[in-house]
Structure 1
């Protein structure tokens, strides 16, 4: 007879998680383009506010959740920053990113009026901005949210400002920024992700060009139009002179010989 027996049974523990990620931005669009009336270019006064929600809708706890934000932040091949990070807050955990100095001064540009004219007439209607995997030209923000119980929600708020490098762009009529937010658990064989497609959210920010040409472009277009008009007028005048339009003799219109003589009235005394 055996007494005080103990049996240890190892039960493998697995986590079934169902992360839902969604977000939005305010304002959803902004106006950009060169403003030559201002003495110096500055950053946009109104902040661009992103809000992201991560919810654990699965039946069990989601361990060690991370959130990655990818924001297009440069026009290749240049590395001028398009956005400055003003603030980032999260209800749980902490967020980090590679910091860089806040810059609200416009980069020096070499003036080329012919290039400006070509750009004005040939700029594409829309330019799509998006991030590749581990894209160095994108602003990458990583948030560690920790363990998320079933039904728990985490809110991340991000405040950006547009730099002059973005506000003075003239390369497209519309810019569309694709901001990607991806929630994922730490690599673990015990974690089962039920719906991975819901873990990724896309938020779109649109910039609309004011469609006002630069002053020197306007002057050049008007000047070319005047020169072309005067040249066309002189060529037309020369052509008419060559065919003798200005050498014709004036011929009076012949009078009608058969018309009735006009009545003449004379005043006099009647004989009684």
Structure 2
């Protein structure tokens, strides 16, 4: 109860009142109800007593302090020379996307959801990334939705020729994507939940397709479905990219190798002939001789010079 003792209150006089409320974080309220009753020692007509009471309902929302991070086991993959589908299931092609949801606030959080999308099929129908197991903790429940047309295990698969630009990014706008919906359990104060999504790259598809560099973009979005809680940030999307490149190797046809050898031999013979004509291979020598009159003769490259001895 508050008591005000002004000397007098004139007509249309307003008196501001400032209230500070403390919230119990263990008992979250949907709204705060405030009731106000005013009376005085002055005489008041009975007909005006009804406006001495007022009530106010204030809806309350609590900001959840959530940390949402991601990590992956690799960001780049180079396609080698293997072409078998079984090779795509080796551990070096397997990817792991791990997302961490941590509660940094002072009250438990419920109603958190994570929505993941992964490029599954190209527009031509070539498999890009599979989506296998989902490992969770803390009572989380996840449902996997594979893209329509995904090849069933054990059935033959037909790959299609497909050409991309030198540097191309593939996401759900340019491919058909798998998706996963995860409903997280209650996230206690200063606790964390982990979601790990695993799958593998389809190496045979990348052999069939023509490209230099492809970037496969996956994304996960955190949502909070609660009438009491709101997230601090606006954008809660986290992106994971895997860059795929082809190993730089080419097979040179046999006729090109033979033609290069013959051309090199022909060029060597031509160069040798030119040097021979130019006298490059002639041996230079000097002969000394004396005639009967005592003159010494010097012979050099077929030319004679005479000197008096």
TM-score under structure 1 length normalisation? 0.63
Cα 1:123–1:131, aligned 2, differ >3 Å: closer, same or farther?
closer
Which residue is 1:129 aligned to?
170
Task: Tell me if structure 1 keeps the 8 A contact 2:126–2:160.
Answer: no
> SS where residue 132 of structure 2 aligns?
strand
Whether 2:67 is the aligned partner of 1:44: answer no
**1:225 deviation in Å?**
6.8
The partner residue of 1:107 within 158, 173, 189 is: 158
CA–CA distance in structure 1, aligned partners of residues 202 and 180 of structure 2: 19
Q: CA RMSD in A?
A: 4.1
Which residue is 2:181 aligned to?
142
CA–CA distance in structure 2, aligned partners of residues 204 and 60 of structure 1: 34
Cα 1:165–1:137, aligned 2, differ >3 Å: closer, same or farther?
farther
Task: Tell me if structure 2 keeps the 8 A contact 1:22–1:202.
Answer: no
Cα 1:227–1:105, aligned 2, differ >3 Å: closer, same or farther?
farther
Whether 2:126 is the aligned partner of 1:80: answer yes
Which residue is 1:4 aligned to?
none
CA shift digits 1:23-73 (9 cap, x unpaired): 11113333314436xxx4322301222211112334444331110112222
- Where structure 1 has 5 or more consecutive residues not aligned to the other structure, the ranges are 1-6, 237-244, 264-272
Query: Higher relative contact order by CA 8 Å / sep ≥ 6: 1 or 2?
Result: 1
CA–CA distance in structure 2, aligned partners of residues 142 and 18 of structure 1: 22
CA–CA distance in structure 2, aligned partners of residues 153 and 169 of structure 1: 42
**1:254 deviation in Å?**
7.2
Which residue is 2:234 aligned to?
196
Count of residue correspondences? 222
Task: Tell me if structure 1 keeps the 8 A contact 2:97–2:198.
Answer: yes
Cα 1:168–1:254, aligned 2, differ >3 Å: closer, same or farther?
closer
| Bigger mean CA offset, 86-95 vs 201-210 | 201-210
Cα 1:254–1:161, aligned 2, differ >3 Å: closer, same or farther?
closer
CA–CA distance in structure 2, aligned partners of residues 130 and 231 of structure 1: 50
- Where structure 2 has 5 or more consecutive residues not aligned to the other structure, the ranges are 1-34, 36-54, 268-273, 283-299
Which residue is 1:207 aligned to?
244
- Structure number having the greater strand percentage: 2
Cα 1:162–1:60, aligned 2, differ >3 Å: closer, same or farther?
same
Cα 1:63–1:89, aligned 2, differ >3 Å: closer, same or farther?
same
Which residue is 2:196 aligned to?
157
> SS where residue 258 of structure 1 aligns?
strand
CA shift digits 1:6-37 (9 cap, x unpaired): x998663423123321111113333314436x
Largest Rg, 1 or 2? 2
Which residue is 2:212 aligned to?
173
TM-score under structure 2 length normalisation? 0.57
